[in-house]
Amino acid sequence: MSNYYNMPKLPTENSPKVEIFVDDKPVMVPGDTNLLEALKAVGIETPHVCYHPFLPVSGNCRQCLVEQEGPRGRMLVIACYTPVAPGMKIYTPASSARVKNARRATQEFMLVNHPLDCPICDKAGECTLQENYMEAGQNESRMRPEYGKNYHGNPAHQFIDAKGQLRGGKHVDLGPRVLLDEERCVQCDRCVRFMRSIAGSEQLQLAGRADHTYITTFPGEKLDHEYDLCVTDVCPVGAMTAKYFRFQKRVWLLSHTPTVSMDDSLGANIWLDHADGRIYRVMPRCNPEVNRSWLSNTSRLAFQNFGKNRLPFMGFHVIQNLVSGVKAEGGKIALAAGGTCTIEDLAALRMLKDSLGDSAELFGGTFKKVGSPDGIAMSGDPMANRAGFKLMGVPENNLADLTKRAGEFKLLLTVNLDIFGEDASQASALEKIQNRVVLSAFNDETAAHGTLSCGVRHWSEVQGTMVNSLNILQKLNACPVCPDEKIRPAYEILSELAGCMFESAADAFKHAGKYAAALSGLSYDTIKSTGKLLEGGEA
């Protein structure tokens, strides 16, 4: 299809306010957006299926109908594609029976052949059709049992079931990560628009017409893209399901922790959905300035390794004695931090350096390749908190210096830095250092090469902050999935080594303000869920 769609304009804080009349009552709404967003801004939710704030408007579901006063009287218009104009008169179901009926009829048509398999549908509980049914539908079923529900889509997947009904396409393998249920699809074409406009690789298409329409890939090709799991998020029904989460957990049993992905320096905002002490899935958290509603497969599927191969908390007193011993001897100490260290960890590290005096030196960085931003939800930089390192005055690119001067040091302390795993050939020079202490969440290569290793909490299990590549200060929240309660956050261990233990992450953040002027005066409460843009940063 060569349809040209427009991206919706979303209201911002600076949107001009205009007066429109909703149900004959004057309200002030953002003036540079569509009606659906404008009504949302004043607290009126409009049910919609095909509209998505970060996808081009297609307007094919007709669920968001409202009435507008025009030159030829009151007409039904779709709220998602009608721009706001000053003085326009809008009627919602609150006052107009016609809108109510129209929405109900749309809803009924959408459900005519939609299977009633909510009990086995993974989307049940967060399904747009279910929500719309409660809001706009609530119609009694007019389905004739002898006729039943029928599937008219892809002829290749049709079959007749035991009850004699025409069924089809219950698990169509779209690609390595996504399964399609063709019966459940409502042809909103959100996934098509996502692949076309956001992912930039048109791998999905609508085939057929009217109620014979079905979603498909091109013949012989598969849906395979770095962002292909986003189609399962944008799918308003359970048609697109992710293979990794299929049938794992009913969604209402999941608890959600809002946090930030530390896989990449863009710091994509995510929800960690957890239950029974483990993470079941990672969902993108909407942040218009950072990752919008998108999340790369790499960040999304990384959670599968969070609980595996963990390092236990051990040997802390030995580390304490070692550090004070080397300090007493006057030997030089290298403190090396990895990209997933939060601002709190860096504050503790700076404090440790100050307590050790001139004998200690800070290092940081990564041997991983730094890529370029993809414009969706990745900056390509594997060192997540690079801007935070700069802000806190911790070097963020001098690991080569560390390996070159490895002979000078008596003790190496690495924090969340898998230096041997990233580049073993360069890191092998570090084996010259007599004592190698490793603080790491995982029992990785560096822990294997260290003389002493101690487990710390993973970034998904700590509270903290990070500064992303756009210089936005973002907040991480602790998801209660730590495999062992004894494992402590890195900032706690480092600050105790420094001789003044931080009571909490907030305490550590307050200390960070001493090292970075941009952070002083801030507290966790002043950082919004979408982050806080820093002005004084150097990045």
Binding site for another protein (CB under 8 A): 117-120, 124, 161-162, 170-171, 246-248, 250, 252-253
For residues 231 and 195, the answer to whether their CB atoms sit within 8 Å is yes
Secondary structure string (H, E, C) spanning 389-419 = HHHHCCCCCCHHHHHHCHHHEEEEEEECCCH
- How far is residue 420's CA from residue 427's CA, in Å, rounded to a whole number? 5
Answer whether 225's CB lies under 8 Å from 201's CB. Answer: yes
Question: 320, 467 in Cβ contact below 8 A?
Answer: no
Our CB check for another protein shows the closer of 17 and 171 to be 171
Closest CB to another protein among residues 43, 119 = 119
**CB of 254: closest distance to another protein in angstroms?**
12
Nearer to another protein, 74 or 170 (CB): 170
Which amino acid does the sequence have at 153?
G
- State the minimum distance, in angstroms, from the CB of residue 98 to another protein: 35
Q: Residue 402: beta bridge partners? A: none
Of the pair 10, 124, the CB lying nearest another protein is at 124
Distance of alpha carbon 324 from alpha carbon 352, whole angstroms:
11
Q: How far is the CB of 167 from another protein (least distance, A)?
A: 9
Q: Enumerate the β-bridge partners of residue 271.
A: 258, 283
Provide the minimum distance between the beta carbon of 505 and another protein in the complex, in angstroms, as a whole number: 32
Comparison of 124 and 400: residue with beta carbon closer to another protein: 124
For residue 338, the minimal CB distance to another protein (Å) is 36
**Ramachandran category for residue 416: left, alpha or beta (phi over 0 → left; psi -120 to 50 → alpha):** left
C-alpha 475/C-alpha 464 separation (Å) is 6
Q: Measured from the CB atom, is 28 or 134 closer to another protein?
A: 134
For the CB of residue 235, give the shortest distance to another protein in the complex, in Å. Answer: 17
Name the residue nearer to another protein (CB basis): 117 or 135: 117
The alpha carbon dihedral of 255, 258, 262, 266 has a sign of: positive
Contacts 24+ apart (CB under 8 A), 446-450: 446/414, 446/417, 446/418, 446/419, 446/420, 446/421, 447/311, 448/420, 449/420, 450/414
Measured CA to CA, the distance from residue 350 to residue 365 in angstroms comes to 16
Contact 530, 487 (CB under 8 A): no
Minimum CB distance to another protein, residue 257 (Å): 22
Which of 440, 496, 498, 488 has its CA nearest to residue 463?
488
Q: Measured between alpha carbons, how far is 436 from 403 in angstroms, rounded to an integer?
A: 13
Cα 366 from Cα 312, distance rounded (Å): 24
Tell me the closest approach of the beta carbon of residue 111 to another protein, in angstroms: 17
Nearest-approach distance from CB 272 to another protein, in angstroms: 21
Nearer to another protein by C-beta: 12 or 248?
Answer: 248
453 residue type, one letter: S
Provide, rounded to whole angstroms, the least separation between the CB of residue 144 and another protein. 21
CB nearer to another protein: give 159 or 218: 159
Nearer to another protein, 161 or 408 (CB): 161
